[in-house]
Amino acid sequence: DPNVIVSILDTGVDLDHPDLVGNIWVNTGEIAGNGLDDDNNGYIDDVNGCDFSDGDNNPDDYDNHGSHTQGTITAVTNNATGVAGVAFDSKGMPCKIFPNALDNNIAEAFTYAADNGSIVSSNSWGGGAQSTIIEDAIDYFLATSDGVVVFAAGNDNSSSPTLGYPASYPPVIAVAATNDQDQKAWYSNYGTWVDISAPGGETFFAGDPQGVLSSIIGTYDFFQGTSMACPHVAGVAALLFSANPGMTGAEVRAQLEVSTDFIDNLNPGFEGELGTGRLNAFQALAGGPFPKAP
């Protein structure tokens, strides 16, 4: 549903990428480049989101990371080009928070996203100190949108909720990363605070196709990380909101977590620490749960 808007707090997005541009959120209340805040939302010429790191209206990517995560969610589908996003036809709202990523930058991004219609927030970042400013902003997003906030669990191969913060903040969905065998990726954080797992890839050399293929600035590449797992979950959340417009955030979260594939049997030593299992888009949308493996 093009009205389902996924905000992506990251390094920005390649605004000219041929496989992304068609699904980058457009603020229809704003007239580009006229120097006015046409829609009175407090931001001048915020046609495609904002750069909260530098305090301007240009969320163009400088790093590739944000273009990669946004592509996993909203790369244009059925265009015979590049890759296909999970939440095809939904719109990705780039909320650039890096490189500075100060708590106030991040909080402003959550607030902007909620106030401008986003219902899913995808966050492939973490590792900072506990922050009441960030937690209040997450709470505001959830209360305003009745949506979901999804976070990468982090890449420390640790069960520490401190290293995994803000993913370990209970109101958000914490995502661990699996490889193509449904095993915990070597780097992925884990723990009882993780809610769900999703493909994050495991690469061993440049261009290794065991990574997650998505868009980067001007082209495509294979990346690995819980940063790559998180947007898969955000994408399926957008599909659920698209298919079921009346669903609440709590219902979408519950449906994501109850419809997973059981993987504890494939992950000895990590039982109960990879969430309910590996994300399954079909089962989520088809109204699972379905019978799980032993």
Active site amino acids = 10, 65, 227
The reply to whether 58 sits near Ca ion by the rule CB under 5 A is no
The reply to whether 14 sits near Ca ion by the rule CB under 5 A is no
The reply to whether 115 sits near Ca ion by the rule CB under 5 A is no
Indicate which single residue of 14, 19, 46, 273 sits in contact with Ca ion (rule: CB under 5 A).
Answer: 46
Indicate which single residue of 7, 17, 19, 43 sits in contact with Ca ion (rule: CB under 5 A).
Answer: 43
* Cβ-based neighbour number of residue 97 at 10 Å: 27
**Span interacting with Ca ion, options 22-30, 69-77, 251-259, 276-284, rule CB under 5 A:** 22-30
Q: Which is nearer to Ca ion, 43 or 125 (CB)?
A: 43
Give me the least distance between CB of 70 and Ca ion, in Å please: 21
Q: Which is nearer to Ca ion, 112 or 165 (CB)?
A: 112
Indicate which single residue of 18, 41, 54, 187 sits in contact with Ca ion (rule: CB under 5 A).
Answer: 41
Q: Which is nearer to Ca ion, 39 or 136 (CB)?
A: 39
Residues 6+ apart with CB under 8 A from 15: 21, 24, 48, 59, 60, 61, 94
Q: Which is nearer to Ca ion, 28 or 132 (CB)?
A: 28
* Cβ-based neighbour number of residue 200 at 10 Å: 30
Give me the least distance between CB of 42 and Ca ion, in Å please: 7
Give me the least distance between CB of 41 and Ca ion, in Å please: 4
Give me the least distance between CB of 101 and Ca ion, in Å please: 23
Tokens read off for 131: 């922050």
Give me the least distance between CB of 136 and Ca ion, in Å please: 23
The reply to whether 51 sits near Ca ion by the rule CB under 5 A is no
Indicate which single residue of 37, 56, 146, 156 sits in contact with Ca ion (rule: CB under 5 A).
Answer: 37
* DSSP code per residue over the chain: -TT-EEEEEES-B-TT-TTTGGGB---TT--TTSSS-TT-SS-TT-BTBEETTTTBS--B-SSSHHHHHHHHHHPPSSSSSS---TTTT-EEEEEE-TTT--HHHHHHHHHHHHHTTEEEEEE--------HHHHHHHHHHHHHH--EEEEE--SSS---TTTTTTTTSTTSEEEEEE-TTSSBPTT---STT--EEEE----SSTT-TTSEEEEETTEEEEE-SHHHHHHHHHHHHHHHHHH-TT--HHHHHHHHHHSPBP-GGGSTT-TTSBTBSB--HHHHHTT---PPP-
Q: Which is nearer to Ca ion, 43 or 52 (CB)?
A: 43
The reply to whether 19 sits near Ca ion by the rule CB under 5 A is no
The reply to whether 54 sits near Ca ion by the rule CB under 5 A is no
**Span interacting with Ca ion, options 28-36, 78-86, 261-269, 272-280, rule CB under 5 A:** 28-36
Indicate which single residue of 1, 22, 26, 39 sits in contact with Ca ion (rule: CB under 5 A).
Answer: 39
Q: Which residues bind Ca ion (CB under 5 A)?
A: 30, 37, 39, 41, 43, 46
